[in-house]
């Protein structure tokens, strides 16, 4: 494993920002930064060793300081959407800042992706990465409780990129953490010809504001059915501008990662043109499939992007679960520990 730390710039407030570069012996590498505990880059080889940049992002801090589509962000305190920017907790009404119409999206306008994290490198023969920590104070972006958070991102010699999340709180609070990486295993073009499998028999339909309606519907017989491998673009024209929906994970337990809350195989993404593939394993209850529907005209390190230039597989609790009593709870109580794991396992076809 190779490990390196470099400066990444300075915020307008004078805060120093670092970046970390970690690689394995197989040609895989990733970069992260203390600004937002953000995943900056993932380079992935093919069988012949030719590498591509498999995620969207920027190479300079200044681009992350302005508005962007959450490229590689650690998203919190609550990923995805909370309807009306409000919910009730312990008999009290909680009001959050709204940053997508009347919706609170990805923790609000100054969510975890806009904060400086403490970063600590670690590594050995089999894996290396960065442990990010911070305490989100009581009332930050309207959320109650002092929330102590740790996000560990590391790479293994088995070509696994792993995200571990841990958190504790001193008051009941809503929590839903994920990483917002945008993937394109071809390294360019669109993801419409990528082949996707989702181990999910149900999905959450949404309203015109992309808020789940509260229903949990079967995918069978609909364009949302990815239980068998299917081109992402095959039926995308039947779902408006594209997919932006949460799926209910029901994949097989992975015995090599068995634990009290074992990870399950939830998704497989394959680009047959390059021979690159990626499995996603998690103990999160759902995964948000977002097909880059609003990327047209956005720029990243590669230049101006097209619609569907990449897709996201955001493992997470259900969107707006704090307002839907039939959804699994997304509330963390004092004395509990929030623990989530997501593994991106790369392979060749």
Which residues are tagged catalytic? 180, 314
DSSP 8-state code for residue 242: S
DSSP 8-state code for residue 65: H
Q: Tokens for 69? A: 């589509």
Asked if 177 contacts 75 with a C-beta cutoff of 8 angstroms, the reply is yes
Placement of tokens 């809503």 in the chain: 174
CB atoms within 10 A of CB 271: 24
Strands 92-95 and 86-89: antiparallel
Helices (H) and strands (E) in the chain, counts: 1, 29
Q: How far is CA 57 from the centre of its chain?
A: 14
> What does the CA dihedral 292, 293, 294, 300 come to, rounded to 10 degrees?
30
| DSSP notation for 295-331 | -TT-EETTEE--TTS-BEEEEESPTTGGG-TTSPP-E
Residue 126 CA: distances (Å) to CA of 122, 190, 306 = 11, 34, 38
Asked if 77 contacts 173 with a C-beta cutoff of 8 angstroms, the reply is yes
């Amino acid at each position: 494993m190779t490990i390196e730390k470099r400066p990444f710039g300075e915020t307008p407030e004078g805060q120093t920002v670092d970046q970390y570069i970690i690689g394995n012996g197989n040609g895989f590498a990733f970069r992260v930064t203390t600004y937002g505990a953000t995943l900056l880059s993932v380079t992935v080889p093919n069988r012949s060793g030719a590498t591509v940049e498999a995620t969207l992002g920027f190479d300079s801090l200044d681009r992350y300081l302005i508005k962007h589509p959450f490229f590689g962000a650690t998203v919190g305190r609550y990923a995805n959407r909370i309807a009306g920017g409000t919910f009730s907790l312990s008999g009290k009404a909680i009001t959050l800042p709204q940053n997508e119409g009347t919706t609170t999206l990805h923790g609000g306008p100054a969510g975890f992706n806009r904060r400086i994290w403490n970063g600590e490198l670690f590594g050995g023969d089999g894996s290396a990465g960065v442990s990010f920590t911070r305490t989100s104070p009581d009332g930050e972006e309207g959320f109650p409780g002092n929330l102590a958070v740790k996000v560990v991102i590391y790479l293994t010699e088995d070509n696994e990129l792993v995200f571990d999340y841990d958190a504790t709180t001193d008051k009941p609070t809503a929590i839903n953490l994920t990483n917002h990486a945008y993937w394109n295993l071809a390294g360019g073009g669109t993801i419409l010809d990528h082949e996707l499998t989702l181990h999910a028999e149900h999905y959450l339909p949404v309203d015109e504001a992309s808020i789940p309606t509260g229903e949990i519907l079967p995918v069978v017989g609909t364009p949302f059915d990815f239980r068998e491998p299917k081109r992402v673009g095959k039926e995308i024209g039947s779902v408006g501008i594209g997919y932006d929906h949460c799926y209910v994970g029901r994949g097989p337990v992975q015995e090599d990662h068995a634990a009290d809350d074992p990870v399950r195989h939830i998704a497989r993404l394959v680009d047959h043109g390059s021979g690159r593939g990626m499995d996603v394993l998690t103990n999160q209850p759902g995964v948000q499939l977002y097909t880059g529907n609003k990327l047209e005209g956005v720029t990243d390190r590669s230049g101006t992007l097209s619609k569907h230039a990449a897709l996201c597989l955001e493992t997470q609790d259900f969107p707006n679960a704090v307002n839907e009593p039939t959804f699994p709870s997304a509330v963390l109580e004092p004395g509990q520990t929030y623990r989530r794991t997501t593994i991106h396992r790369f392979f060749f076809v």
